[in-house]
């Protein structure tokens, strides 16, 4: 579990916003509000296209005979449920955001938060203290407004389709831990950003990018070691055939595998995944227990790891990491689209890497199995996919594997 509340504070109500508000400026204005509404209309159009694709009653031709009819029906029902929910969620969100911006609620709340700071005996002229008070209120608001949607998504939609494994108490415990972590990590990060804004001058953008780069490195270091274990249990993968095959593959690629873990993802969801992390000679691989349960044999699991190792071998992680992550809102949409294009290209390359290691049949089987078990959308609109998906649809990945195999045979 990530830090949703810290993310909400830093992304939905960035410190730069409060810094502008403190100078009686409107950082959005009519043009910003208009852009937000136009983006909502454009993205809703894409959502409608995707919804129509999801309602198609038959599988794409390349998946006929590959995906069972029963899995397709379940996937279709799950995807449509999520799509309907998404329409409602986005409509409520744009309504709230538009109201907040149109009636200039943020500058008003900035003023009120300053008054509150003064009442408790602190110095409201101190921008760091003032901003922290402002963002604390924003975090409370974000928590209140997001909670009904999180509860419905987890305990209605995910539960209805057999994915949710959480109890309400585990959900509340995770939420409380997330809030406490935000309270611990948020203030020093916000204080540092405001200080950089104050002294940045003409090099502000460079300083902010450098700070966020260092912060990302730090979070990538401490998150899996300190934060992630607060939410999940990580245990070493037991000795056996699977461990031997993964270690042999890693050694053949000179991947400096330090530890190999299994995480109890099944305590919250039956969705499956695998990932790796760590710097330099301290690499670790994590398998979800659900991935191990869902794959038919060890080679299918190893083929998934081969794909992930392809990302490492081809330096995809480094390229993605150094990309600019934080920019002004109009450019953020374009940047996100461009990064998705790059990410999809990386996925094809990682698939080809696993194929070249001899795992093409196993990877195809694993991709199909993961698509089925996660009830991922089988029919996708090409425009929606291009704009939103960081991973290519299953049809395209299977076709790319087959094309690569055909070229090799020729």
From the annotation, which residues make up the binding site for Zn(2+)?
Answer: 307, 311, 347
Q: Do 324 and 338 meet the contact criterion of CB atoms below 8 Å apart? A: no
Tell me, what DSSP letter sits at residue 63? G
Rounded (10°) angle between helices 69-102 and 360-373: 60
Residue 8: is it exposed, middle or buried by C-beta count within 10 angstroms (0-12/13-18/19+)?
buried
* CA angle (182, 231, 88) in 5-degree steps: 70
Tell me which residue of 312, 176, 196 sits closest to 254, measured CA to CA: 312
HSE at residue 60, side-chain half, CA atoms within 13 A, is 16
**E strand or H helix at 262, and its extent?**
strand 257-263
Phi, psi (rounded to 5 degrees) for 296: -75, -30
- Among residues 300, 308, 373, 381, the one annotated as catalytic is 308
Which amino acids are annotated as binding site, given as ranges? 307, 311, 347
Catalytic residue list contains 373? no
The SS3 assignment for 297 reads: coil
Q: Which residue among 351, 372, 373, 381 is the active-site one?
A: 351
CA pair distance 103, 15, nearest whole angstrom: 20
**195-200 contact pairs (CB < 8 A, 24+):** 195/128, 197/15, 197/16, 197/19, 198/127
Q: Which residues contact 376 (CB under 8 A, 6 or more apart)?
A: 75, 79, 370, 394
Bridge partner residues of 288 (DSSP):
263
- In three-state secondary structure terms, 305 is helix
* Cβ atoms of 269 and 165 closer than 8 Å: yes
User: Widest CA span of the chain, in angstroms?
Assistant: 78
**R_g over Cα of the chain:** 23
The one-character DSSP state at 156 is I
Question: Partners of 261 in the beta sheet?
Answer: 236, 286
351 is catalytic: yes
Residues with catalytic function: 308, 351
């Amino acid at each position: 579990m990530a830090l949703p509340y810290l993310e909400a504070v830093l992304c939905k109500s960035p410190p730069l916003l409060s810094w502008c508000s403190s100078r009686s400026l409107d950082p959005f204005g009519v043009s910003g509000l208009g852009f937000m509404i136009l983006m909502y209309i454009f993205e809703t159009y894409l959502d409608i296209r995707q919804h129509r694709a999801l309602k198609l009653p038959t599988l794409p031709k390349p998946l006929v005979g590959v995906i069972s009819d029963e899995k397709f029906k379940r996937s279709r029902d799950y995807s449509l449920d999520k799509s309907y929910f998404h329409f409602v969620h986005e409509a409520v969100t744009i309504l709230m955001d538009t109201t907040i911006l149109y009636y200039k609620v943020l500058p008003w709340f900035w003023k009120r938060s300053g008054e509150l700071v003064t009442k408790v005996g602190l110095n409201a002229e101190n921008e760091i203290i003032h901003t922290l008070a402002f963002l604390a209120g924003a975090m409370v608001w974000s928590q209140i407004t997001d909670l009904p949607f999180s509860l419905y998504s987890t305990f209605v939609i995910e539960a209805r389709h057999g994915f949710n494994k959480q109890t309400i108490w585990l959900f509340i415990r995770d939420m409380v831990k997330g809030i406490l972590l935000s309270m611990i990590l948020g203030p020093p990060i916000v204080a540092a950003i405001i200080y950089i804004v104050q002294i940045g001058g003409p090099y502000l953008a460079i300083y902010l990018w450098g700070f966020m780069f260092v912060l990302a490195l730090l979070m990538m270091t401490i998150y899996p070691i300190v934060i992630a274990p607060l939410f999940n249990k990580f245990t070493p993968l037991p000795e056996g055939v699977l461990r031997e095959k993964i270690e042999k593959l890693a050694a053949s690629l000179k991947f400096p595998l330090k530890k190999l873990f299994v995480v109890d993802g099944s305590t919250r969801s039956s969705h499956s995944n695998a990932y790796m992390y760590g710097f330099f000679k301290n690499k670790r691989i994590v398998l979800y227990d659900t991935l191990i349960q869902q794959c038919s044999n060890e080679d299918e699991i190893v083929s998934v790891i081969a794909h992930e190792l392809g990302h490492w071998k081809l330096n995809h992680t480094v390229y993605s990491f150094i990309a600019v992550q934080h920019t002004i809102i109009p450019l953020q949409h374009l940047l996100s689209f461009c990064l998705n294009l790059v990410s999809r290209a990386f996925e094809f390359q990682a698939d080809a890497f696993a194929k070249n290691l001899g795992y093409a049949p196993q990877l195809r089987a694993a991709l199909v199995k993961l698509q089925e078990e996660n009830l991922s959308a089988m029919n996708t609109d090409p425009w929606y996919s291009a704009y939103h998906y960081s991973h290519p649809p299953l049809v395209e990945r299977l076709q790319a594997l087959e094309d690569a195999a055909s070229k090799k045979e020729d």
